[in-house]
């Protein structure tokens, strides 16, 4: 995914990953019933991949099973016309291995869901790209 924007500075992968590591909320883009959907999730980084929670039985949970999804984080200051966005694209899968589940559980992800059985989903960070948003000034 090269240059979806013009006039914006490209962030190198290290800069993208640094930003992924310090933000806590991102948005995952999935397909539900053949329609595009974007939802915010509380996430953490594990081995360079994105990990978030879903509740068993939800459409979100179903949508992230072995699908290629997009995950985005950004910080934008509208008044100052500065900011950045980072995009991760990769296969999503439920974490089922007991050891990996324990590691995911230790990340401290807040699933925003009360009392439901949560599953951990990993988005393999196969493509990581980012842009600085630099206004015309």
Q: Using CB under 8 A as the criterion, which residues of the chain lie in contact with a copy of itself when the complex forms? A: 1-8, 24-25, 27, 29-30, 32-33, 35-40, 42, 55, 57-60, 63, 68-72, 74, 76, 78, 81, 83, 85, 87, 89, 110-116, 127, 133-137
* Between 68 and 100, CB nearer to a copy of itself: 68
* Burial environment of residue 112 by CB neighbours within 10 A (0 to 12, 13 to 18, 19 or more): middle
Half-sphere exposure of 35 (CA within 13 A, CB side): 5
* Between 67 and 102, CB nearer to a copy of itself: 67
| Least distance to a copy of itself, CB of residue 15, Å | 17
* Between 1 and 96, CB nearer to a copy of itself: 1
| Least distance to a copy of itself, CB of residue 12, Å | 18
Task: Give the CA angle between residues 45, 49, 61 to the nearest 5°.
Answer: 95
Which has the closest alpha carbon to 121: 111, 133, 113? 111
Provide the terminal-to-terminal Cα distance of the chain, rounded to the nearest Å. 26
């Amino acid at each position: 995914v090269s240059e979806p924007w013009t006039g914006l500075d490209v962030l190198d992968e290290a800069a993208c990953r640094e930003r992924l590591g310090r933000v806590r909320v991102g948005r995952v883009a999935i397909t539900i019933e053949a329609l595009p959907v974007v939802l915010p999730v509380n996430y953490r980084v594990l081995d360079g991949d994105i990990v978030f929670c879903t509740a068993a039985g939800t459409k979100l949970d179903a949508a992230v099973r072995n699908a290629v999804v997009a995950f985005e984080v950004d910080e934008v200051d509208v008044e100052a016309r500065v900011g950045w966005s980072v995009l991760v694209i990769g296969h999503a899968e439920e974490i089922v291995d007991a050891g990996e589940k324990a590691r995911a559980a230790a990340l401290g992800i807040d699933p925003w869901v009360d009392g439901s059985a949560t599953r951990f989903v990993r988005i393999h960070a196969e493509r990581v790209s980012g842009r600085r948003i630099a206004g015309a000034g």
